[in-house]
Structure 1
Amino acid sequence: MDQPLLVLDNIRKSYGAIEALKGVSFTVNKGEVIALLGDNGAGKSTLVKIIAGGQEPTSGRILFEGQEYRAKSPAEGKAAGIETVYQDLSLCTNVDVVANFFMGREITRKFLGIPILDEKAMEAAVTKAMANAGTRIPSLRTNVENLSGGQRQAIELNRFVHWGGKLVLLDEPFAALGVEQTRRGLETIRQVASQGIGVIIITHIMQQAFQVADRIVVIRQGVVAGDVRTQDTNPDDVIKMITGESLAVSGTAART
């Protein structure tokens, strides 16, 4: 079996006397979707920020593609192939899909010795990337502000894959979307994973986790309270992990 894409080994994070993470360990494989669940304040967002490079762990070790990894900024994380997609996307809404796809990476050609944008080449590349991902946008020349939330997320995810992304972190990506947009978003995530990209998705909606994830990792009070294959568990058991009921039951059983 290939080595894991990401290994988190006893990750701890303290803010003074407050321990947000108390030794989190789990792995993410290439092409695997992990649903990260837990109550507010459990430590999920802190963990994602550490992976992305937004914060540094107090202690612990991270391996990415088998190598020691400790990004000191989101830019370093992005350079390594790790990106976070939040509810508030990083797209520029007042320009079209093609412009967003190539923002900062524009293709140019020379005309009378002067570099100008090669619009045809960029549009062809975006058309191919969207087709490969099964994403349908009526017109790539439509300004992003006129697209649905689901279409915007598809653009951001496909852009990430196109530029060599390896691990994407999704923080409540569907919180503001309707049922149909969410369904299409979940399909996009599975399509992204099918290309060998690792995915970690934070969600409070249990149904979404069971629809899209290969594994469910539950964080409770800064530690991993559960790490199970989705097909081997059910919503009731996951809720018990989140609330700590499963720990209480196992502790009672141990005493008897």
Structure 2
Amino acid sequence: MKEKEKVIMEAAIKLFGKKGYDATSVQEIVNEAGISKGAFYLYYKSKQALLLAIFQYYYDGFITEFEDLKGQDLPPRQLFIKQIETQYRFILGQKEFLIMQARERVFNESIGQMLNKMRNVITQSHKQSLSAVYGAQIEPYVWDLTMLVQGMMHPYLELLIFDKIEMDLFDLGKYILQQTDQLAEGFINSESSPLLTEDIVMDMELPFHKVTIDKGDLLAAIQEAKEKYSKSKDLLITIEVLEEEIKKEEPRIPVIEGMLANLKKENKLKRLQTQINDVFNLQ
């Protein structure tokens, strides 16, 4: 991002948070930024284009922070706490702007897609962390547990934003994990069936499974499938061929499509098929 773009963006964020989006004019933004209108339109076609750029800036920053946590090689419980802390800290850092957006319902399709992507990243990360913390026993209930954790987090966020209650965010993350321990134990010892299963999420086309993953994540999912279906010879061969091809610097799409055709009737591997399709932009 060029320096002048950043100056314009920072001026707009300040004014949008203070006055609101609708009440802020382009003239006020350029006055605050100390530039001409011509310079503004050199970088942004309109006030709405600037708003979208601000959302993109926040989205990129959030995703970078969240992804950086994965590279820290933290124990599962520590990673989950840090994810919660990071989520709260990021939102609180932009609270005036986000309150404005919620209050004025400044919204378009592009912003909606970006917010959905962020929600998907958070949901998938929570689900993966909960699986890592509680292991195979929680898998039948992991989607239900994920939804309950997010439901638990929301009221505390409202207290932090609207009631301005001060809390240590790391301690709050630890507290939420402690309560999650109780929920997980209840699920594991329960004889009831889960409400949300992987198949239900897939069949309902809920957005949570559609978050973009990279090749490293995909290979990890393939390794998990190999271990899970190690006793099924035909399935294992297909999965291993996929793994070998995907590891190549230039994977051959026809080979991948051929292996996916072999898996088409395997509903238990539907999620893996979706992930491969997403990574390689296949239909």
Q: So what's the TM-score if we normalise by structure 2?
A: 0.25
**Which structure has the highest helix share of the two?**
2
Q: Which has the larger radius of gyration?
A: 2
Greater relative CO (CA pairs within 8 A, separation 6+):
1
Q: So what's the TM-score if we normalise by structure 1?
A: 0.27
